[in-house]
Amino acid sequence: MNRLLRDGSFMFATLKNSALVKTYVLYLALMVASSMQSAVFILYILELGGGVFEVNLISTISGIMGILFIVPFGILSDRFGRRPMLLFSQAIQAAGAIIYTVATHFNHLLIAAFVSGFTGLETFPLFISIVVDIAKPEERQEAINTIYIFSSIGMILGPSISSFLLTFPQITLRNIFQIIVATQIGIVICIATQIKETKRRIVESSTIKRRSYLGDLIRQKNFQVILAMTFLWFFSRSIVLTYIPILSQKVLNLSNVEIASYTTYQNIAIMLIRLLQITFLKKVPTKPFLISAVVVSGITDLASPFANSYLSASLVFFFSGVSHGAVMSLGSLLIAMNSTPQNRGTANSIFMGFLGMGMIMKILTSPIVDILGFSPVFILGGIIGLIAAVPLLMYKGW
């Protein structure tokens, strides 16, 4: 271990850079708030009178809004800088969280989803662009993996905090959202006072040149392959994330504490696979590793019809997390390899946009659940998850 620390082959070398450390810690805080919300979001919709369709509708509205704005966000961050777009997006997120705290009907959550959608889905593209901007070329892979490690820690802490708080009878789901609001406000203050602009000033900034950078990006076959995989993979994964919690409450009659804890197991798996990626799996060829991680998502969906207890449902979330941890970090690395400083923010935004499109596709499965039940939807998700590995066979330049 001492040798690993000295030669920087573990994840600690970039922790010497204070600008990167601030970014890591801020993203950790953001993921604590985000995963606290994810752990109880579906339960909150059901508590306010929603059902399967309403769960899918609210996430679809947020997803569609995010898709509409995520690419413009990326373009604006490439043109005007990362910091102002990050500050704006988190201020909007705080406003959306406030609406959640005062909601008394699931229709109010539609408004909150609409408002939150103006942030362009997650702020991950901005954070990953900041990290890549700051890190030296030889440090980028390590920097990407490190921010994912901090992200994973936040994703474990968030649902763990939610589950722990819900063990107290006096704590309600609404109280969880009140804590999220306070965290979001703190994040906005930290961005305003601690984060500096990282994007380099580009001398050539004409509209023609910017369009050229965007066109070069879109025409890359490798970039197209990554987007196709991303869309299909997250469509498959979103089916598990949506229907296992609903199944657990309506069929298995599990408690809110148990259902909220699924996200903890998922995020532990995400952190474990990312730790392995920067240690023991560091030398594993990228292509078979990424294809295997995508296939795991499909197999997890196919196994979901057998999730008839708390333990089996937790295992489904765990293996879904394994797939997520590997695919997201490797996908981000491929995006960094196939983009330039002039279009990096746009590239990361498009990547997240295709994740969002995969997520909103699950609304089409609502009638299947209503008519045929959960099992056919899980099988459909499994088939799509396996197909998602096919585009990667066409990727060149591994």
| Sequence spans of domains, the chain | 17-394
pLDDT of residue 211: 54
Cβ distance 207 to 81 under 8 Å? no
Residue 180: count of CB within 10 angstroms of its CB: 25
Cβ distance 297 to 385 under 8 Å? yes
Of all residues in the chain, what percent carry a pLDDT higher than 90?
Answer: 31
Q: What pLDDT band is residue 9 in, cutting at 50, 70 and 90?
A: very low
Residue 101 has pLDDT above 80, yes or no: yes
Output the CA angle 169-174-175, nearest 5 degrees: 65
pLDDT of residue 381: 95
Q: What pLDDT band is residue 7 in, cutting at 50, 70 and 90?
A: very low
What is the pLDDT averaged over residues 21-38? 90
Q: What is the CATH number of domain 17-394?
A: 1.20.1250.20
This prediction's pTM: 0.71
- For the segment 326-347, what is each residue's pLDDT rounded down to a tens digit? 998 888 888 877 777 667 777 8
